[in-house]
Amino acid sequence: MKPTTDTHPQKNSQAAILIRCFGYLRPHWKIILGVYGAMVLIDLIAMVNPQLIGWTIDQGIEAGNAAQLAVAVGVLLALVLVKGVLTYYEGLWTEVASQNVAYDLRNALQRKITELSFSFHDKAEAGDLLSRAIQDVERIRFLTGRASFRVIESIFLMLATAAVMIWMNPRLGLLAMLAMPLLVVQSIRFGRVFRPLSQDIQKQLSVLTTRVEQNLRGVRVIKTFAQEEAEMARFAAENQKWYDLSAFSAQMQSNNMPTLNLIASISSVAILLYGGILVINQALTLGELVAFTTYVAQLVSPVRFLGMVLPAITMAAASAERVFEILDTIPAVEEKPGAPDLTLQRGEVCFENVSFAYGRQTGVLKDINFTAQPRQVIALLGPTGSGKTSVVNLIPRFYDPTAGRITIDGTDIREVSLNSLRGQIGMVLQETTLFAATIRENLTFGRPDATEEEMLQAAKDAQAHDFIMQMANGYETKVGERGITLSGGQKQRLAIARALLTDPRILILDDAMSSVDSETEHLIQLALERVMQGRTTFVIAHRLSTVHSADLILVLDRGRIVARGRHEELLRSSPLYASIYSQQLEMGGRLKPAG
C-alpha cells in the first residue's frame, strides 16, 4: 500500500548537487556561450598585456625610443577599451543567465509546493518554505552566475599564466608554481570544514524566518495574552543562535584569507628576489622581470579568489540541497499518468472497507463502510477526534486511504484526474481561509469565469449579498489577510458562496455554520435546502436542525462507525447518539464541536 505521507529523497553528494544546479543553465546555453567567449578574449588580453608592458620597458623606456613608447601606450589603451566592453557584456550575460535559473527554480518550487499533498503541508512550516524559496534560491543564483563563472575563469587564467611563465623562464615559472599546491590544499581543507557549518546556518535562518512569520500571523493572540516580552525573548534566543553561527563563519573566513595571502606573498617575494638576481647578472631584462611579476600577480589572484568564493559555493550547495529536497519529495497523493477525467452522472459515493492513518499514527479510521446515495444529505456526528473530518477529507483525495477504496458512481477516485475530481466537489472547510484580495476575487477563486449574475446568486444563496452591499466598495471591497477584517459569520458565508459558485455535484460542509447566529443560520439553511437539491451532501453538523433533516446520520467513535440511520431511529437504537443529543439539547440546539 502506498505510504500516506510524502516520501523525501536520499541525500546526494555535493558534486551531484552542484552538477544538478548547473543543469538549470542548459536552456540558456546561447547566453552562456557568449559569456565564455568573452571570457576567453579577456584572458587572452590578460596574457598579452604583461608582454606588451615588458616590451615597452625594454624597447621604449630603456632604449629611449619615444616612438616605440607611444605605439605601445596606444596599443595598451586600445586593449583596455576592448577589455572594458567585453567585461560589460560578460557581466550582463552572466547575470541574465543566473536570473533565469532563479526564475525557473522559483516557478518549480511554487508548482511543487502547490502539488504536494496535505500530509506535506501538515508538517511544513511557512517560514522554512519562504527561506528556501527566497534565500536558498538566491544563493543558487549566485552559484550558477558569478561564482561558477569566476571559478572557471580563474582556473583558465591560472593554467594559461603558468604556461606562459614556464615558456618565458622555466626556473622562475617552477618557483612560482611551488606555492600553488599549498594554496589549493588550504582552500580544499577550508571548504570541507565550512560546508556543515553552512548547512547549520541555513537551517537556523529557516528557524528564524519561521519565528518571524508565526509572530506576524499570531500578533493578535500575542497581544491578547500579553506575551510580547516572552515572544521577544524567544525570538532573541533564536536570533542569538544564528548570530553565533554567523560569527563563527566570519571568523573561519577571516582566518582563511590571511593564510592564503601569506602563502601568496612569500611566493611573490621569492620571485622578486630570484628575478632581481637574474636581472643583475643580465640573465633577464628588466622588462621581462616586470612582465613576470605581473604574471605572478595574475597567477596568485585567482587562487586568492578561489579561497574567497569556495565558502559561497559551499553555502550554495547547502542551499541547493534544501531546495532539491522539496523538488524531489514524492507526494503521498499522486495522479496516475494519463488518468481520465471523472464524469459524474448520479453522485453516488461509496466507502468500501476504508482505513486511514496519518503517517505512523495508529488508525484514525478503521473499516469504514457506507454508501451515500445520489442527492442524499449525510450527517457525520461523533465526539472530538472520532474521525469525522478525516472521512470528508478522503473524498477529494486530500489524503489516500491506507486500506480499502472510495468510489464515485462506481469509479475508484484514484483512477481519475485530481482536477476533475475536485472540480466536482464543493467544500466549506472547518477553518475558513480568505485571501488578501477583493470580495469578488475571493468569491470567484474556484471559478474565475463565472458571470456577474452567477456570482450574485451564489452570494444571495449564502446570505452574503446584503452585508457585502453595505460595505463601502461592495464586491470590490478588499479584505485583510486571511479575511481578518470580516467577522467569523461573514467569512463563513463568503466561503459557502465560493463553494456554491462552482456548482458542485458533491457538497461537503465541515461545520460550515459554526460562526453564524441562529437567524443567519436559518436563512442559510433555507438556501442550502434549495442548493442541496440534486447534489450529494456531506455535513459535519453541530446544529440539531441539520441532524433532524439528514437522510442518513453516521455516528463515529474512535475511527469506527458505531451507528447509522435517521434521527428518530438513532434516538432509540444508539446510546451514544442519544447521549450526545440529550447533553447538547440545552446548548441552544448545538451539538459537540468537530473532531
Helix (H) or strand (E) segment spanning residue 440: helix 439-443
CB 275: neighbour CB atoms within 10 A?
A: 24
3-state secondary structure at position 259: helix
Whether this model's pTM surpasses 0.85:
no
pLDDT of residue 177: 76
91 alpha-carbon distance from chain centroid: 28
pLDDT of residue 594: 39
DSSP state of 576: H
- Which residue type occupies 500? L
pLDDT of residue 1: 46
| Per-residue pLDDT tens listing for the chain (595 residues) | 455 555 655 566 778 888 888 888 889 889 999 998 998 998 888 888 888 888 888 777 777 778 877 887 888 889 889 989 998 998 899 889 989 998 999 999 888 888 887 777 777 777 778 778 888 888 888 888 888 888 888 888 888 888 888 888 888 878 777 777 777 777 767 767 776 777 788 778 777 877 777 777 677 667 666 777 888 888 888 888 888 888 888 887 777 777 777 777 777 777 778 888 888 888 878 887 788 878 877 776 676 676 667 777 877 888 888 888 888 888 888 888 888 998 888 889 999 999 998 776 667 899 999 999 988 889 998 888 888 889 999 999 988 999 999 999 989 999 999 888 988 888 887 677 788 788 898 899 888 888 999 999 888 888 889 889 988 889 998 886 666 678 777 888 888 888 888 888 898 887 666 556 666 666 666 666 666 777 898 988 666 666 777 889 999 998 999 999 998 898 889 888 888 777 765 455 555 443 4
Left if phi > 0, otherwise alpha if psi is -120 to 50, otherwise beta: which for 211? alpha
Angle, nearest 10°, between helix axes 29-55 and 66-115? Answer: 160
Beta bridge partners of 82: none
Q: Which long-range contacts (CB under 8 A, 24 or more apart) does 431-436 make?
A: 432/483, 432/488, 432/491, 432/492, 432/494, 432/495, 432/515, 433/482, 433/483, 433/495, 434/479, 434/482, 434/483, 434/486, 434/491, 434/494, 434/495, 435/479, 436/478, 436/479, 436/480, 436/481, 436/482
3-state secondary structure at position 426: strand
Helix (H) or strand (E) segment spanning residue 199: helix 179-217
DSSP state of 331: P
Cβ-based burial of 453 (10 A; exposed 0-12, middle 13-18, buried ≥19)? exposed
Measuring CA to CA, which residue among 394, 290, 321 is closest to residue 351? 394
What is the torsional sign of CA 301, 303, 304, 309?
A: positive
Give the model confidence (pLDDT) of 192-210 as tens digits.
Answer: 777 677 778 877 877 787 7
